[in-house]
A and B are shown apart, each in its own frame.
Chain A
Amino acid sequence: MSQEAIKEKSMILQKEMVEGLFNDLDHAKELGKKVCYTFVPGNLSELIRTFDMLPVYPEINALQSAMRKKSGGYIKEAEKNAHSEDVCTYVKCDVGMMMKGNIGPTGTKIPEPDVLLLSYTGCFTFMKWFETLKREYPNAKVIMVHTPYQENAQMTPSMVEYMVKQFKEEVIPQMEEVTGIKYDEAKLKRMLALSKEAEDWITKIFDTTKHKPSPIDAYFAGVYYIGPINIGFRGTPEAVEYYKELYSEIQERIRLGLGPITPEGEMKEEKYRLVVEGPPNWTSFREFWKIFYDMGAVIVASSYTKVGGVYDLGWRHDPERPLESLAEYCMNCYTNLNIPQRIDLLSKCITEYQADGYVTNSIKSCNSFSAGQLGMMREIEDRLEVPVGFIESDLVDPRYFSYSNIKNRLESYFQMLAQRKMMEKEAH
């Protein structure tokens, strides 16, 4: 744990982008920019940028608070104020952080929102979260975008129409009102073209795990890779540049036959290839990751990296259909897919990326992900006859990360995988 993480050029590019955003947020007033709080799933980054607003993602603040070991205190603060122990810890961390002065990851105060853009996509709690924030920030305008759930595994024309009407009659006029900037569709289209480009690159990046050994870890490193596309940079030339650079670095790793980079350097031997369902634990992120890489386990695909958009199946933003395309984007985020769709997508990942196993990290306080995961696991096990593993933790509440329990469970699981591999070898 004491070793410094190795930094590649793409990492430096990402750091610069994030620092730039927080720097702008620090000076939002001087820059004359409005601040828009919103969520990662169904994030309308391009639309926010069309109106020159600066995005703030409360989930990202919460996970960063967890990585900085501050979330426990924030959660307790919220619980003192009637928030239940049993609800989303992102919400409580955010509320607690606000009660403690709203100091963000860079150590400076995050400006108050001018807009709470409630992109209500794939998570019921989002709605309650912004109902709570509205009461704390009475001057902020809440703009609701209701994203219909893909209950029947499809995006119907009426669902698209419903969302486009919301954009035209509610979202855009209210954004115009708050910012004083007129909606510029040409500007939006230019950004959507860049979004499509970034989406092509990120799909190619996550596809590189088909190689053996996989050059990347699509979960623990994947959460960093999805950063730019999910936190406000989709639709920018910087994001395209970042993903191009990242892809080129990964190609070099493939050429050299290298495995993924971990916080302790390069992973030497790929023993197990896994697909993971569910978000990671953030409070003990490195310890959690270490359990996997110490055992030679690499994650070749994860559902969490699809939470801000599913691009695997070919869907892309389309500048020729700007608002329709934003609607489809929202509806196509992972947690907005129905359970059979989620099972199919994960099964496809297991097959295409030749995974040896499937692991669920079930998050105590995230029902959007967790409710139904046991049924999904059972179906995947039956369908593909792949060994399945199940662990439990939480997003940002340190009380629910039990290192020894998780390690014990995973060690047993890896023993099972080892035995199975041995049997398969003997059979051949």
Chain B
Amino acid sequence: MKDLKQIINECKELAFDLHFTRAKKWKEEKDGRVIVGYMPIYFPREIIHAAGGLPVGIFGGGDRKQIIKGDAYYQSYICHIPRSIMELALDKHMDHFDGFIFPSICDVIRNLSGIFKQHKLGKFVKYMDFPQNFLPQIGGVFYQQEMEHVLHYIKEINGVEVTTEKLNHSIDLYNKNRQLISTIYNIRQDFPWRLSIEDVYHIVRAGTVIPVEEHNEILEQVCAHIKQNIGVPQDKIKVVVSGAFCEQPAVGLIKAIEEAGCYVVDDDYMLGSRMIIGDIDATTSNPLEAISNSYIKQSQYSSSIYDVSNPKEYRLAKIVKERGANGVIFASASFCDPSLLDAPIFQNAFNKLGIRYIAFQYSENINQFKVIKEQVGAFSDSIKLWEDEPAAVSNINLTATDSCKH
């Protein structure tokens, strides 16, 4: 087994390799392999895997890519991620990709799919319209057709016919992947000092650019390490970070939150890798239906999923309660419609529920965090100072979540 430090260093390299060299190497190893890039938030990677492809997450250039060409495509009042994705594309970082998937997150990512089409980037460009109708016979069927559309594109490239067996095998591998990530979060819930959130971030993000088999091996080793009593506890509050599911904060910011006095015990940075809660049934004769059902019935809340019958504020409150967190940090990318439009919903509810929170905005390319660090530090101190007050989160009635299912 590798040393934890070594694993983390390798994951750091992989997570921010903006030339996607591991994917390129993987593709070159065997004929017929395809690389399919996908944008946040969620995409059922299982189907790409089953079709002989490697799904690769595209999360923008962060603070590691200077934007020159991308700015010519987007006005100053549009978030940063589409311009850095354009920069990566126009600078040929993704020339070895065969196709690109744009899941329905928001209008910016939707329209970015059109710009990719206009530039004829990749062999196919697919805007993946996730259903906002949650009846299996309506939205579920539509979702299966969307997945079939993706498989059709891949088959046109490599001729691979996806079988039930292949799909169930892929589902199994990704079930394992989600279980292991979940294990890491569950251990950190009680022992957050064993692995920093920065390290968790690198480890999970690395999984979006390498084969799932390799990632599962890494995760197994990480789990083995953090099951040991390692690290030293510090006097920090526990928080959940919410709202940073698409454009990613710079790693420095992720790190700064913990340095400022908060153990992050849950977050939505890499929400796509954790979107499905629990396993997808890998034993059915209709795996696409199983994937579809999992999205409809087992999805984590998300700002991109219509939630009237399953209110997100109660679902986040439930996470806060279950993780034993002291509060929430709402971190939204500047000009991020999904996150910012949800802010009043969350904050009004949390005011009533007595859940403490702070909110700030960031941009992926900003790496000066002094003000945010002070804000987070003050938040942490204020909670520590008021720790004698009844713990609001543990007392709140969250029954609304139980009665509200898709």
Tell me, yes or no, whether A107 is within 8 Å of chain B by CB: no
Sorting the interface of chain B by its residue count into under 10, 10 to 19, 20 to 34 or 35 or more gives 35 or more
In this complex, which of A78, A118, A367, A368 has the most chain B Cβ atoms within 10 angstroms of its Cβ? A367
Tell me, yes or no, whether A255 is within 8 Å of chain B by CB: no
Tell me, yes or no, whether B129 is within 8 Å of chain A by CB: yes
Given contacts A81-B344, A144-B306, A367-B106, A374 and B72 within 8 Å (CB-CB) = yes
Binds A, one of B108-116, B280-288, B370-378: B108-116
A148 and B127 alpha carbons, distance in the complex (Å): 10
A155 and B194 alpha carbons, distance in the complex (Å): 52
Within 8 A of B (CB), among A176-225: none
Q: Write out the residue numbers on chain B whose beta carbons fall within 8 Å of the beta carbon of A343.
A: 118
Q: How far is the CB of B291 from chain A (nearest CB, A)?
A: 17
Q: Write out the residue numbers on chain B whose beta carbons fall within 8 Å of the beta carbon of A120.
A: 132, 306
Which 3 A-B pairs give the minimum distances between C-beta atoms?
A: A339-B114, A151-B127, A128-B341
Given contacts A148-B142, A343-B118, A166 and B133 within 8 Å (CB-CB) = yes
A158 touches B113 (CB 8 A): no
B75 touches A125 (CB 8 A): no
Within 8 A of A (CB), among B150-189: none
Given contacts A124-B337, A339-B118, A371-B74, A131 and B307 within 8 Å (CB-CB) = yes
A338 and B343 alpha carbons, distance in the complex (Å): 29
A274 and B3 alpha carbons, distance in the complex (Å): 66
Tell me, yes or no, whether A69 is within 8 Å of chain B by CB: no
Tell me, yes or no, whether B80 is within 8 Å of chain A by CB: no
Within 8 A of B (CB), among A102-148: 118, 120, 123-125, 127-132, 134-135, 142, 144, 146, 148
A83 touches B337 (CB 8 A): no
A265 and B245 alpha carbons, distance in the complex (Å): 52
A371 touches B135 (CB 8 A): no
Q: Write out the residue numbers on chain A whose beta carbons fall within 8 Å of the beta carbon of B337.
A: 87-88, 124-125, 128, 367
Tell me, yes or no, whether B61 is within 8 Å of chain A by CB: no
Given contacts A124-B106, A367-B337, A144 and B138 within 8 Å (CB-CB) = no
4 other A-B residue contacts (CB within 8 Å) besides A128-B342, A148-B129, A165-B137:
A82-B347, A86-B77, A124-B110, A338-B117
Q: Mark B315-335, 1 if CB is under 8 A from A, else 0.
A: 000000000000000001011
Q: Write out the residue numbers on chain A whose beta carbons fall within 8 Å of the beta carbon of B342.
A: 128, 131
A173 and B105 alpha carbons, distance in the complex (Å): 29
A169 touches B135 (CB 8 A): yes
Within 8 A of B (CB), among A314-328: none
Question: CB within 8 A of A146: which of B77, B133, B141, B334?
Answer: B133
A-B interface pairs (CB < 8 A), number = 158
Q: Write out the residue numbers on chain A whose beta carbons fall within 8 Å of the beta carbon of B104.
A: 124, 149
Question: CB within 8 A of A370: which of B75, B334, B341?
Answer: B75
Q: How far is the CB of B107 from chain A (nearest CB, A)?
A: 4
Question: CB within 8 A of B118: which of A144, A166, A371, A379?
Answer: A379
A224 and B29 alpha carbons, distance in the complex (Å): 62
A146 touches B132 (CB 8 A): yes
Q: Write out the residue numbers on chain A whose beta carbons fall within 8 Å of the beta carbon of B347.
A: 82
Given contacts A149-B127, A340-B114, A343-B118, A374 and B75 within 8 Å (CB-CB) = yes
B341 touches A87 (CB 8 A): yes
Q: Which single residue of chain A is at the shortest CB-CB distance from B143?
A: A162
Q: Which residues of B approach A to under 8 Å, CB–CB?
A: 72-75, 77-78, 82, 104-108, 110-115, 117-118, 126-127, 129, 131-133, 135, 137-139, 141-142, 145, 303-304, 306-308, 311, 332, 334-335, 337-338, 340-345, 347-348, 361
Tell me, yes or no, whether A372 is within 8 Å of chain B by CB: yes
B141 touches A162 (CB 8 A): yes
Within 8 A of B (CB), among A16-50: none
Tell me, yes or no, whether A91 is within 8 Å of chain B by CB: yes
Q: Which residues of A approach B to under 8 Å, CB–CB?
A: 78, 81-84, 86-88, 91, 95, 118, 120, 123-125, 127-132, 134-135, 142, 144, 146, 148-149, 151-152, 158-159, 162, 165-166, 169-170, 338-340, 342-343, 362, 364-365, 367-368, 370-375, 378-379, 392
B114 touches A338 (CB 8 A): yes
Q: Write out the residue numbers on chain A whose beta carbons fall within 8 Å of the beta carbon of B335.
A: 86
B127 touches A338 (CB 8 A): yes
Q: How far is the CB of B351 from chain A (nearest CB, A)?
A: 9
Q: Write out the residue numbers on chain A whose beta carbons fall within 8 Å of the beta carbon of B345.
A: 131-132, 135
In this complex, which of A95, A123, A371, A372 has the most chain B Cβ atoms within 10 angstroms of its Cβ? A371
Q: Write out the residue numbers on chain A whose beta carbons fall within 8 Å of the beta carbon of B361.
A: 84
Q: Which single residue of chain B is at the shortest CB-CB distance from A148?
A: B129
Q: Which single residue of chain B is at the shortest CB-CB distance from A133?
A: B308
A374 touches B308 (CB 8 A): no
Q: How far is the CB of B2 from chain A (nearest CB, A)?
A: 43
Q: Write out the residue numbers on chain B whose beta carbons fall within 8 Å of the beta carbon of A144.
A: 132-133, 306, 308
Given contacts A146-B132, A148-B142, A84 and B343 within 8 Å (CB-CB) = yes
Q: Write out the residue numbers on chain B whose beta carbons fall within 8 Å of the beta carbon of A152.
A: 126
Q: Write out the residue numbers on chain A whose beta carbons fall within 8 Å of the beta carbon of B132.
A: 120, 127, 144, 146
Question: CB within 8 A of A132: which of B73, B77, B344?
Answer: B344
A87 touches B340 (CB 8 A): yes
Q: Write out the residue numbers on chain B whose beta carbons fall within 8 Å of the beta carbon of A378.
A: 72
Q: Write out the residue numbers on chain B whose beta carbons fall within 8 Å of the beta carbon of A151.
A: 110, 113, 126-127, 129
